[in-house]
Amino acid sequence: MSSAGDLLHVVTNDSISAGRKSFGRAIIWGSAGVLVLVAALQLAQVLGWQDLGFQTWRPTLYAYVLWAICLCWGQVLLHGEHGKRTLFVLPAALFVISLTVFPLLFGLIIAFSDWNLSSPTGRQFNGLANVHQMWADPFYWNAMLNMVWYTLAILVEYAIAFGLALALNAEIRARKFFRVAFLLPLMLSPVAVSWMIGKSMLEPRFGPIARLSRALGWDNPSFFESPWIAKLTIMLMDAWTFIPFMMIMILAGLQAIPKELNEAAKVDGANGWRAFWEVTFPMMLPVSITAILIRIIFKLKLADIVINVTSGGPGGATDTVTSFIFREYRDRSNVGYGTLLAMVYLVVIVIAMTVLMKLADRFARPRT
Amino acid sequence: MTETPPPPAAAQIFYDSPGDQAFRVRWWTGRATVYALLILWSFICLFPIYWTLTTSFKMAPDVMKGHMLPWVDFSPAWLGWRSLGLSPDTWGDESTVRAEFLKRFSNSAIVSVVSSVLAVVLGSLAAYGLSRFSYKFAWMRNGDISFFFLSQLILPPVVLALPFLVLYKELALLDTRIGLILLYTLSVLPIVIWIMRDQFSSIPTELEEAALVDGLSIWGAFVTIILPIALPGMVAAFILSLVLTWNEYFFAALITSTHANTLPVMVASQTGSQGISWWSMAALAWAAILPLIVIGVVLERYIIKGMAAGAVK
């Protein structure tokens, strides 16, 4: 929505009195003053200048909430009808800013310090020591590499999802049943899935999948012992939960293709295979790219299954960056180092996604 | 075939040419492949759920021998559900496991419902504003603001997790439901905005113009005219947020410990312990996924609608 000007034109003659305006300014600045004052008092307490009996930073939080409310209210007081428009977006914007921007800035400070939550010494700046540690940490880079493999698995998932969407889009009976059945894996929590499949069905002695693979001639099925099989198993479990997601997006795209196109292709003598590659697939390119990009975003957050099934083993073969940092915190409660790793990960993701989106944009543009 | 003499008059006059018959065969094999594929994949999707459900009624030997069909090769027992205190014969008794389970269940329910409602309210307002008016906050125009909201989707939870852990510790929000609710709202907000933006931009602005001419204010027009039309989209966004927040494990595992634990954390903590009894784990896992299976079966239409939003422009 980049068009200039409102889609909805509202003409009002607001006559806002000077008193109302000054009241509006007063509550905004007044509450800001309260916020600053409370924060300053708490800071004084933390730095040990004065003991004012604050246990936590809660009062500052309340002052912040008060300021946010006053800011929203003040918009209406100051700008009348225009302020009421601002009120649509402002609460969400304030919410997101206060919950991401502040923690991220705070995280930057943490990232460059040595901070063990369980040790009494508290936080100490240690400059670039964390960076050096990260540079020499083979497990972190291994986890990064694993993320590349996991992301590449999306291509296979996409092919399967496309096939299923085509099957669902065909003239079939009981479509609703199949849709519900295909959707169900997406609804299940990854933690439950990691027990249901990872721990019980893949159990090497009695699990049904182990039994099946023994019947098929694999003598000693073990799914989590050799690195590549373990990685593959994690990929399969993740694919099982997320294929429905891609399938539904592709199905929506398929249903939006006008039927005439395929009929025209048929009249022109294209058989099913050629009609697919020359009509359906190119038509589906934008939807496919959206689906794959969103899927990549979700894949980069992959952790729950890994944490619960293999906890990164064997030897870090299944580690994702998230699960690695999770264990880094769980085992060593090393907040500083973990945060640095996460920050580096964020930078890598942002760069990678920007490049991917640019490439996708160029690729998806209709060729003339 | 081609050399056969013309059929006698009594025989069938109209018959399919060999080309058409070949087409018929192809059509039938095509059908068969499609159905085989569909049935195979539904089996893959449904079997783990079925397996978990039946395992929760098995006894140790049944698990070892790999029995699968209740009443055919094993006789169902309430073993797994009894250990959770949820079987008919233990229903009246006191049970610490059941109390624990119900507490986690209600935590999960409260956290996911409240955060989804909050996300839908905040997200719908923002999406409506962005689809109707042009804003300018500092240097940011509508496109930038939309991008700002949607870009939160890329932010991996692990980046926020540790700063939040420390912040919550300072704010005494660690291990509280409010802390979880705030985080969950944040994590589903971009998705809600994504869905609702799509929804609102499909509603013609003439509707509000008419309402404004009739003397309603902007907010009045929004609440009385637009909201009822956009309701299906809001339900879709709500259900999708509900699913995501109900299943969330990572934040819950980090910032809750005893009071605000959600169901996934309970399931995960049972998995880790030594000597898991399969039947009780299966019962627990199944109880944890049951609400979502019900939602999935009953509200499937909305979930699909929500996920398809934005796929097709």
Residues A106 and A236 reside in one and the same domain: no
Q: Is A286 on the interface with B (CB under 8 A)?
A: yes
Sequence ranges of the domains in chain B: 18-90, 96-308
Question: Is the separation of the CB atoms in A194 and B271 below 8 Å?
Answer: yes
Contact yes or no for B281/A198 (Cβ under 8 A): no
For residue range B218-266, list pLDDT tens digits in order.
888 888 888 898 888 899 899 989 999 998 988 888 888 888 888 888 8
The pairing of strands A124-125 and A113-114 is antiparallel
Q: Which residue has the higher pLDDT, B170 or A158?
A: A158
A242–B contact, CB cutoff 8 A: no
Choosing among A75, A195, A214, which should be mutated to test the B contact, i.e. which has the most B CBs within 10 A? A195
User: What's the pLDDT at B122?
Assistant: 94
pLDDT value for B279: 80
Structure token digits, residue B108: 């999960």
Same domain for A139 and A104: no
At A207-236, the pLDDT tens digits run 888 888 888 888 777 888 888 889 999 999
Residue numbers in A near B149 (CB within 8 A): 92-93, 96
User: Is a pLDDT exceeding 70 seen at residue B189?
Assistant: yes
Contact between chains at A56 and B172 (C-beta distance less than 8 A): yes
Token pair recorded at residue B205: 């602005």
Co-location of A100 and A155 in the same domain: no
User: Measuring CA to CA, which residue among B248, B250, B155, B181 is closest to residue A100?
Assistant: B155
In A119-158, the residues whose Cβ lies within 8 Å of chain B are: none
In a domain, A117, yes or no: no
- Look up the CATH number of the domain holding residue A357: 1.10.3720.10
* Distant-in-sequence contacts of A234-237, Cβ < 8 A, 24+ apart: A234/A150, A234/A305, A234/A306, A234/A309, A234/A310, A234/A318, A235/A149, A235/A150, A235/A153, A237/A193, A237/A194, A237/A197, A237/A198, A237/A305, A237/A309
Grade residue A2 by pLDDT with cuts at 50, 70 and 90.
Answer: very low
pLDDT digits (tens, 9 = 90+) for B34-61: 899 999 999 999 999 998 888 888 877 7
pLDDT in tens, A36-49: 888 888 888 777 77
Given this model, what pLDDT does residue A328 score? 84
Give A165's contacts (C-beta < 8 A, 6+ positions apart). Answer: A247, A248, A250, A251, A254
Look at residue A90 and tell me if it is in a domain.
Answer: yes
By the 8 A CB rule, do B242 and B295 touch?
A: yes
- Report whether pLDDT(B120) > 90: yes
Total domain count for chain A? Answer: 2
Residue A300 and residue A175 in one domain: yes
**From CA B247, how far away is CA A186, in angstroms rounded?**
10
Q: Is the pLDDT of residue A343 over 50?
A: yes
Structural domain contains residue A121 = no
How many CB pairs below 8 A link A and B?
322
Tell me what pLDDT residue B310 has: 62
pTM for this predicted structure: 0.87
> pLDDT digits over A165-219, tens only?
998 888 888 888 998 999 999 888 888 888 888 888 888 777 888 888 888 888 7
pLDDT range class, residue B3, cuts 50, 70, 90: low
Which chain B residues are within 8 Å of A345, Cβ to Cβ?
A: 156, 158-159
Q: Give a yes or no: residue A267 inside a domain.
A: yes
Q: Do B129 and A85 touch (CB under 8 A)?
A: yes
- Identify whether residues A306 and A225 lie together within a single domain: yes
- Copy the structure tokens of residue B140: 């940011």
CB contact A103 to B (< 8 Å): yes
Range of the domain at A146: 133-364
Is the pLDDT reported for residue A337 higher than 80? yes
pLDDT, tens digit, 9 for 90 and up, residues A103-132: 888 888 888 888 777 776 777 777 788 888
Mean pLDDT on B281-285:
86
CA separation for the pair A329, B162 (Å, rounded) = 8
Q: Which fold has domain B96-308?
A: MetI-like fold (1.10.3720)
By C-alpha distance, which of B142, B125, B217 is closest to A7? B142
pLDDT band at A1 (very low <50, low <70, confident <90, very high): very low
Let me know whether A183 and A244 are in one domain.
yes
For residue B11, what pLDDT band results from cuts at 50, 70 and 90?
low
